[in-house]
Amino acid sequence: MTERVETQGISGEHYNFAYLDEQTKRMIRRTILKGIAVPGYQVPFAAREMPMPYGWGTGGVQVTAAVIGKNDCLKMIDQGSDDTTNAVALRNFFVETTGVDTTTKTKDASIIQTRHRIPEETLTKDQVLVYQVPIPEPLRFLEPRETETRKMHALEEYGLMHVKLYEDIAKFGHIATAYAYPVMVQDRYVMDPSPTPKFDNPKMDQMEALQLFGAGREKRIYAIPPHTKVVSLDFEDHPFEVTKFEQPCAICGAEEVYLDEVILDDDGNRMFVCSDSDFCEERRDAGHVGHLGTNPLEAEGND
């Protein structure tokens, strides 16, 4: 999975390029431009039914389809990994409908569509990061009525969100929200960063790449332009803290990265490995090895 996958375009014969019709793309493109002009504001759009169920990333797919061109190189990740079901299915969808090059290497990609992670490698200004968003409204579980949440955004009335975080502290002694941790964008809109772990929140701040968010079922698109201020909500006496791991990645030994827990047997043994599969592979290729891994360079030498 490390080299670029050669792809064959059959778009001309079967589908319009990138599946969507041109009018739909124009509508989505106009929505994206509004989203960029008002960072963090959820712009309504006429999301189409896609040939995959809601919850599979129909919003992200529509955003990617409106942005992608024939010279793009696409990377598709699901919880940081290039080879889990959602990533493979959606990558194949774009290979079939556009014929673009795909890659698993973060640095080679011009568009990265992600389900719930931001790659560990720093993104650059020529890249676009597209998030799949299930519930775009950060206030939805506090106030179910769209008419009311819309007013709350209009009036910048975000007290309820702070009450929710305060209740976390009252109950658990700390802010227990670990994913979909609300952020304030450019001092104006409170935004749901999609269910990324809060570990990734600091990466959104001043990121060089353009970040686009698509929610298909909820019919919303929002955006964070490059170099935009993104602050995780917190309190002076309970400042925002990222998740810390007690041990490094078991395979590549990386520290200060987001780790997945893998159960090894019925006796409760487990290991922690990088959630970003490309980052882990790169490190192993460079000779790094964790306490449960083997050094691929030495293994080759022994042959």
Partner 1 sequence: MSTQTASSIFAKAPAPGLADPVHDAQSVFRSAMNALAQPGTVQQLDDLKLNPPAPLSIAATALVLTLCDYDTPLWLDPALAASETVKNYIRFHTAAPFVESPAEAAFALVSDAKLLPAVASFSAGTAEYPDRSTTIILMVDELTEDDGITLKGPGIKTEQQFNVAPTPAMFWQQMQDNSALYPLGIDVIFAGANQVAGLPRSIKITGLEA
Of 127, 62, 52, the closest CA to residue 88 belongs to: 52
Residue 213 pairs in a beta bridge with 131, 222
Taking CB atoms within 8 Å and a gap of at least 24, the contacts of 83-87 are 83/1, 83/277, 86/56, 86/57, 86/115, 87/115
- Site for partner 1 contains 183 (CB under 8 A): no
Per the CB < 8 A criterion, the answer to whether 290 and 251 are in contact is yes
Please return the burial class of 236, using the count of CB atoms within 10 Å of its CB with bins 0-12, 13-18 and 19+.
exposed
Residue with Cβ nearer partner 1 (147 or 302): 147
Q: Which of 188, 217, 238, 288 binds partner 1 (CB under 8 A)?
A: 188
The neighbour count for residue 10, using CB atoms within 10 Å, is 13
- Give catalytic residues, as residue numbers: 40, 249, 252, 274, 280
Number of residues in contact with partner 1, rule: CB under 8 A? Answer: 44
Task: Find the part of the chain contacting partner 1 (CB under 8 A) among 129-137, 183-191, 237-245, 246-254.
Answer: 183-191
Which one-letter DSSP state was computed for residue 106?
Answer: G
Task: Find the part of the chain contacting partner 1 (CB under 8 A) among 65-73, 232-240, 252-260, 270-278.
Answer: 65-73
Q: Which of 7, 9, 15, 30 binds partner 1 (CB under 8 A)?
A: 30
Q: Which of 50, 61, 63, 66 binds partner 1 (CB under 8 A)?
A: 66
Residues 223-282 interacting with partner 1 (rule: CB under 8 A): 223-229
Here's the x/- map for partner 1, 143-182, by CB under 8 A: it reads as -------xx-xxx---------------------------
In whole angstroms, what separates CA 260 from the centre of its chain?
16
Alpha-carbon distance values, 243 to 133, 176, 190 (Å)? 22, 11, 21
Judged by the rule CB under 8 A, the positions of this chain that interact with partner 1 are 16-17, 22-23, 25-27, 29-39, 41, 43-44, 66-70, 125, 150-151, 153-155, 186, 188-189, 206, 210, 223-229
